Amino acid sequence: MGRRPATEEARLHNRLAVLRAERGLSRQQLADAIGVNYQTIGYLERGDYSPSLEMAFRMAEFFELPIEAIFAREPFAPMSEQVYSKSA
């Protein structure tokens, strides 16, 4: 699996819930696809655990996205802000 972040600064942010929703996947379906328990997906989505490097690569391959599009050290900007923000 992964490991519990030692500090809040060590916590990884992710877009797993958004990606699952976009594709109409349950936690169980994503878990089955990458070979983990469905509870692991919940822990990852909440930031309770950080994925192992192997798991992060499996997720990136499954979603066909680079790892940094799924996981980041800083919180992701809301999609509405990215899509609808006006440039000054």
Q: Please write the tens of the pLDDT for every residue from 14-35.
A: 999 999 999 999 999 999 999 9
Strand partners, 53: none
Residue 88 located in a structural domain: no
- Cα 67 to Cα 80: distance, rounded to the nearest angstrom: 21
What are the backbone angles phi and psi of residue 52, rounded to the nearest 5°? -70, 165
Q: Provide the domain count of the chain.
A: 1
Query: According to the model, what pLDDT value does residue 76 have?
Result: 78
- C-alpha distances (whole Å) from 38 to each of 20, 51, 72, 77 are 13, 14, 22, 26
Residue type, 68: E
Q: What CATH code is carried by the domain that includes residue 50?
A: 1.10.260.40
Instruction: Using pLDDT thresholds of 50, 70 and 90, give the confidence band for residue 63.
Output: very high
Task: Return the higher-pLDDT residue of 88 and 12.
Answer: 12
Residues 6+ apart with CB under 8 A from 36: 1, 55
Q: Which domain covers residue 12, as residue numbers? A: 2-66
Cα 3 → chain centroid: 14
pTM, to two decimals: 0.77
Residue 72 located in a structural domain: no
Residue 19 located in a structural domain: yes
